[in-house]
Amino acid sequence: MADQKYAAALDVGTSSVRFIVFQHDGTVAASVAQEVPTATPQPGWVEQDAEAVLQACVAVMAAGVAAAEAEASIAPEAIGCVGVTNHRESTVAWSAASGQPLAPMIIWSDVRTAAIVDRIAAEAGGERALAAITGLPMSTYFSAFKMRWLLENVPAVADAAADGDLRLSTVDAFVIARLTSGDVYVSDVTNASRTCLMDLSSLKWSSEALELFDLPPTALPTIVSSAEEYGRIDPAVVPDLAHVPLAGCLGDQQAALVGQRCFAAGLAKNTYGTGCFMLLNVGTTPRFSSAGLLGTVAYQLGPDAPVHYALEGSVAVAGLGVRWARDNLGIIDSPKQINELATAVDDTAGVVFVPAFSGLLRRTGLRTLAAHIARAILEAPCFRTAEVLVAMAADAPDVALSSLRVDGGMAASDLLLQTQADLIGIPVERPAMLETTALGAAFAAGLATGVWASPDAFAAATESQLTIVAPSYAETDSVAVAAIASRKAAWTHAVAQAKLPADYDEAASDAIKAQLADQIEVAQALQLLLASESEANNEYAMTKVPELEAQVAAARREADALRSQVATADASAREVTAAKSELEARLEVEVKNVAQLTGQVEAQSQVLAALAARYKALEKEAGEHRTAAADAAAAVDRMTAELETAARAVHSANKDVVSHAALAAAAHTRALVALGGLGVALTAGLGLFLRFRR
């Protein structure tokens, strides 16, 4: 259909931004990505240049429109809406007047606010003092603490607050405002719910939280739903998307929940990335966790639509364990090999991988193969996911989990899906496109603008892309159920063994005590072995100490110099990268301008060529007309001469005619007189004749 419209999404991630145009069945028509650099200027600090992120967004949007036309024949005007999704909790301080950032964007994982968290928690009466309002504990993750830090530590932010020029927001509000040239300042309910400032029940900024954090309410955006038209893209910002509605917005994990079509209570999604992020749709009533989970908004698909809430839990290590297997164990060369290696065996042979800092392996032995370890690494996030689901069931006992929908890089593993289904006893569903975050944002925008009529229509259009993995056993199979229970018990035991003794009371397990005793015994044996070394070796070692100390000092100095060089190189590299990005962006603009000018010149050349041809034709035609006119003039001259001769002849003839006419008239008169006399004579003669005849 000529008037068919397509939905697109701007996905603002921590490491990259993407612009994706979707077909109506949820498949990707075109996708363009650009990396964005992250800086760590101090230990625990993680930040980005907000302006650079915004310019990257503009660049991928322009490139994505061109890609959609080139790769899928989707014209720019056929893109009917754009949705935005973003990394949550990250915070931007910027000027309301200019739109320019006042400080670097503080990323969600930044922990510089730890002291502020402790201070405010103490003032409020504990880290869960606001949990009954916001659903969140006090943590360095959440935006309110970042906002407080910016006000206390960045003079430009404090000055803007004093002048009434300050805006404090999550990433979504900053991006939407800049794409509309400052006309719109909004944040959707999912992003607002991650600030530790929003009341989950009223969907308004909590006055109690604002007072506790001492934040100016005027600096915060208006809270809106996840699917409505917020504003239109300014033609000056992205010309190819001029006036296209920005009509959807969701935080990244909520966007994945929507992209996975989890529109009913009891449906959950789990993203297997570096870690795992799981959200369970718990319906239209907010839940406040007592099991260490987060209460949050799942989505609100329209200003008048009901709000759906979620419980969220996370697993610290998933894909990170695969990376550890590559970098520390060396049993694989790339993350993709983990699944192939793990499927080479039927089980882990009792090996359990407990992700603890760099990873702990339990119950390994001489018969342990690399494949057993690989399989244990794949199973670890599945066990942790099962534990999170148990916590969710405790917080929402009335919500029965019916399906777990998965995405993320590790979800490509069929073995992981089967393991997860077996451990939780319900089907696991995987979409063909594992990166569902952007799809969720595109759907929200498409729902608001009519690309999809309803959530059910969207689900029906995209359901054919699913792979469904059911548990490999029946609930009535007591042997299989017992085997699963045994595996869970082995996992729980391994986790308990991995904990430090300080975590235990007097009733700590005998197994851990025995393990510690073994370790002490080994240490004592090593000490005896060292003590038994010969005196000569000890003396020799002592003579080497000064030399070794000098070498160590020299090595330290060299290392310090290298670190300084690396820091300088890193700074230079960042400057070069920023300059390169700026030059590339400017070059792209200039290339477009040159292309436009070239097109205009070519068009003008064609017009001039046509005019030249027309001029030649007209000139030829004018020459012909001039020749014809000259011939006509000569003919007119001849005709004029002939007419003058004829006129003289006529004039002469007229004189002759007049003369002859006068003579004729006189003769005529004489004839008439003669005839009159003849008549008289005849009359007289006739009278005489008649008289004589009588």
Please write down the HEC assignment for all residues of 300-353.
CCCCCCCCEEEEEEEECCCHHHHHHHHHHHCCCCCCCHHHHHHCCCCCCCCCEE
- pLDDT category at 101 given cuts 50, 70, 90 is very high
- Buried b / exposed e over 523-532, threshold 16 CB at 10 Å, is eeeeeeeeee
pLDDT of residue 548 exceeding 70, the answer is no
pLDDT on residue 690: 53
3-state per-residue secondary structure call for 461-483: HHHHHEEEECCCCCCCCHHHHHH
Q: Which residues contact 352 (CB under 8 A, 6 or more apart)?
A: 361, 362, 363, 376, 380, 490, 491, 494
> Which of 88, 313, 280 is CA-nearest to residue 193?
88
Decide which of 473 and 528 is more confident.
473
| Mean pLDDT in residue range 24-52 | 93
Global pTM value: 0.69
Percent of the chain predicted with pLDDT > 70: 71
Got the DSSP string for 488-546? HHHHHHHHHHHS-GGG--TT--HHHHHHHHHHHHHHHHHHHHHHTS-HHHHHHHHHHHH
What pLDDT is attached to residue 523?
Answer: 44
Q: Per-residue confidence at 238, pLDDT binned at 50, 70, 90? A: very high
With a cut of 70, say whether residue 505 has pLDDT above it. no
Q: Which pair of tokens denotes residue 490? A: 């082995």
Average pLDDT over residues 627-648: 73
Question: Strands 16-22 and 204-205, how do they pair?
Answer: unpaired
What is the predicted pLDDT for the residue at 363? 44
The pLDDT assigned to 318 comes to 57
For residue 480 the two structure tokens come to 């299989």
Of residues 405 and 685, the one with the higher pLDDT is 405
Torsion angles phi and psi, residue 9, rounded to 5: -135, 140
Count of other CB atoms within 10 angstroms of residue 137: 19
Q: Place 535 in a pLDDT band, splitting at 50, 70 and 90.
A: very low
Residue 189 has pLDDT above 60, yes or no: yes
User: Residue 330's pLDDT is what?
Assistant: 76
What is the average pLDDT across 445-450?
96
Give me the residues paired with residue 31 across strands.
Answer: 20
pLDDT top residue among 547 and 22: 22
d(CA 450, CA 461): 14
Q: What's the mean per-residue pLDDT of the chain?
A: 81
For residue 178, pLDDT beyond 70: yes
Q: Output DSSP code: residue 101.
A: B
The residue to which tokens 């201070």 are assigned: 119
Q: How confident is the model at residue 192 (pLDDT cuts 50, 70, 90)?
A: very high
Give 652-691 pLDDT, tens digit per residue. Answer: 655 654 455 555 455 555 645 545 554 554 555 455 445 5
- 358: pLDDT strictly greater than 50: no
Give the pLDDT band of residue 595 (cuts 50, 70, 90).
low
How many whole angstroms separate alpha carbon 521 and alpha carbon 510? Answer: 16
Task: Please report, as a single letter, which amino acid is at residue 534.
Answer: S
Checking if the pLDDT of 118 tops 60, the result is yes
- Residue 384 clears pLDDT 80, i.e. is over it: yes
Q: Is the pLDDT of residue 552 over 60?
A: no
**Does 414 or 634 have the greater pLDDT score?**
414
Choice among 99-108, 472-481, 532-541 with the minimum mean pLDDT: 532-541
Q: What is the mean pLDDT of residues 111-135?
A: 95
pLDDT tens across 416-426, in order?
899 999 999 99
Q: Which helix (H) or strand (E) holds 570?
A: helix 535-693
Q: What is the mean pLDDT of residues 350-356?
A: 67
What is the per-residue pLDDT for 106? 97
- If you average pLDDT over residues 372-388, what whole number do you get? 85
At position 144, the amino acid (one-letter code) is: A
Residues in the chain: 694
Among 73-82, 325-334, 350-359, 498-507, name the one with the lowest average pLDDT.
Answer: 498-507
What pLDDT, in 10s, does the model give residues 479-492? 888 888 888 888 88
472-476: list long-range contacts, CB under 8 Å, 24+ apart.
Answer: 472/418, 472/421, 472/422, 473/422, 475/425
DSSP SS3 for 282: strand
Q: What pLDDT shows up at residue 631? A: 78
Mean local confidence (pLDDT), 322-347: 73
Mean pLDDT of the 69-98 span: 96
Instruction: Write down the pLDDT at residue 61.
Output: 98
Is 463 or 602 the better-scoring residue by pLDDT? Answer: 463
Looking at the predicted structure, is the pLDDT value of residue 623 above 60? Answer: yes
**Greatest mean pLDDT among 295-309, 362-376, 434-448:** 295-309
pLDDT (tens digit per residue) in 128-137: 999 999 999 9
Q: Give the pLDDT band of residue 493 (cuts 50, 70, 90).
A: confident
Least confident range from 188-202, 243-257, 489-503, 520-534: namely 520-534
Range with lowest mean pLDDT among 465-474, 502-511, 578-587: 502-511
Strands 227-232 and 245-251: antiparallel
Which range of 173-187, 466-480, 623-637, 663-677 scores highest in mean pLDDT? It is 173-187
